[in-house]
Amino acid sequence: MDYKSNIAKLIKIDGLTENDVASMMMNVKDITMGDYCLPCFRFAKTLRKAPQLIAEEIASTIDLSVAPYLSKVEAVAGYLNFTVNKAFFAQNTIDRILKEGEAYGEDKVGEGKTICIDYSSVNIAKPFHIGHLLTTVIGGALYRIYKKLGYNVVGINHLGDWGTQFGKLISAYKRWGTREQIEQGSIRALLDLYVKFHDEAEKDPALEEEGRYYFKKIEDGDTEALELFSWFKEVTLREVGKVYDRLGIKFDSYAGESFYNDKMDAPLRALKDKGLLVESDGAEVVQLDDYSMPPCLLRKADGATLYATRDIAAAIYRKDTYDFDKCLYVVAYQQNLHFKQFFKVIELMGHEWAKDLVHVAFGMVSLLDDDGNPVSLSTRHGRVVFLEEVLDNTVRKARSIIEQKNPDLEGKDEIAENIGVGAVIYSALYASRIKDMTFSYDRVLNFDGETGPYVQYTYARCNAVLQKAPLNDSLPDYSALTSIEADELIRLLERYPQVIKEAGDKYEPSMVTRLVTDIASQYNKFYYQERIIGGDKGAEKARLNLTKATMQVIYNAFELLGIKTVDRM
């Protein structure tokens, strides 16, 4: 029920519509003062009366007999405060959750609209490491959030599958590698060859030229070079696919950089025709001085194109292909300038949809070593932490905790997988996306406080309560849910659909993570404060229904985040 809209129907103010009044309604922070309020200060000048008097006069016109969802209307210090009938609110919220089930939180706000999301964007023949965690899980969560809001969503993995590094890799493979070695070692074997190439190139700089030579053969369509290039890509996608499966990540397109090789000439010609593409020291750039940015380099002096060139071609292709209403780029904040530049270039080309391109920036992720020091990552020098290893280590630690706390638990391997992987995803989605993240195994696996295992434990606790409960066919007596703990829990559950919308509007999955954490915390307060099983059957049924509703919302929220719940721990 939309309480603000329904309350607005009860209020008559000259010159204002119901929608106007509803938009002015606010939530009351102190729940002892009510649930919603209408500030009357803004009417004082027009009505030529004191705000308190205005509030009192409006209050006197409201007939609560036609508003069973309200228990009190009160004028307080220039505000008109409304208190919702707790039994009505509880029944309305809990019944809706139990009726809608997994559909609770769905909306049609995005119906008929398309959102493209560019995320993860792993590099071919390079490790899928801890640094890719945020873009992957933030993008995956946004994908599911927009699906829940009714949008047509296109998930795009803009693969890093072009550049001189592939020529270097072919050189290294032909010198020191074998097919058997790569098939057995997968990405790690490719990484070993890549590192060896750079080690040897420091001693013999001529190797760099050999790397450029082999990349030129790829560009020219040489059969052997293309076969090796395609094979490296196949090996990489096969390996990273295993990690994507564990993280619950999916894509609708794997069109990477190489896909746009034949799509860059048209935008470059268009820029030249508009007089925007100019020569600078042999290179071609778009000057952006008027917008307080350095030039956007689109073609180097040797004729090579750059990331910006490909991104412009990709944006145009996506608009032509998907006719998106928004295209999101889930990329670290270090690339802020890059996105500002190429977004501006697209705008200068005359594409009004440039305003629909959004850089969803996020912070950096680092991993602490055993001594508590951040790990410095460098693919070129082989200093990487594979994301698969992080997941394996977290699952292993979760398994050891289960062995200590509940050694007789059935299905320990599957439960440990869900807890461990879920802990990693949760830790990446809990803080605001723009914040840097320092990953710690001990912290993410803590069963207390703001962690994934804590919320999963709460879900398992709800399940245990429902499993222990005797058969109860009584009608629920929601007037029995009078405690502050129950009231606060119901309020949080009722907010869930709105928080999904806000998370979509702000590109911020952490809003869902924080809400579900608050729900888990509040349920545990309710659990310890009230005896859920026993006593009056109607009251017991209401408490059990609240437990069931809590369990459902935790499940739904974790589905959005890409985390699997566990029935027992």
What residues are labeled active site?
Answer: 126, 129, 132
Distances (CA, A) of 290 to 134, 268, 315, 524: 34, 21, 23, 57
Spatial distance between the Cα atoms of 416 and 445, rounded to a whole number of angstroms: 11
Q: Which two tokens stand for residue 238?
A: 């096969």
> Are the CB atoms for 179 and 232 separated by under 8 Å?
no
The CB density around residue 29, as the number of other CB atoms within 10 Å, is: 7
Q: Which amino acid is at 443?
A: R
Consecutive H or E run containing 198: helix 179-203
Integer distance in angstroms from the first to the last C-alpha of the chain?
A: 35
Consecutive H or E run containing 353: none
The SS3 of residue 30 is coil
Which has the closest alpha carbon to 489: 453, 528, 460, 450?
528
Strand ranges of the sheet holding 114-118, from the earlier edge strand across to the other edge: 152-156, 114-118, 326-332, 357-362
Three-state SS annotation for 102-166: HHCCCCCCCCCCEEEEECCCCECCCCCEHHHHHHHHHHHHHHHHHHHCCCEEEEECCCECCCHHH
Q: Which two tokens stand for residue 156?
A: 């795009």
Q: Which two tokens stand for residue 407?
A: 């050694």
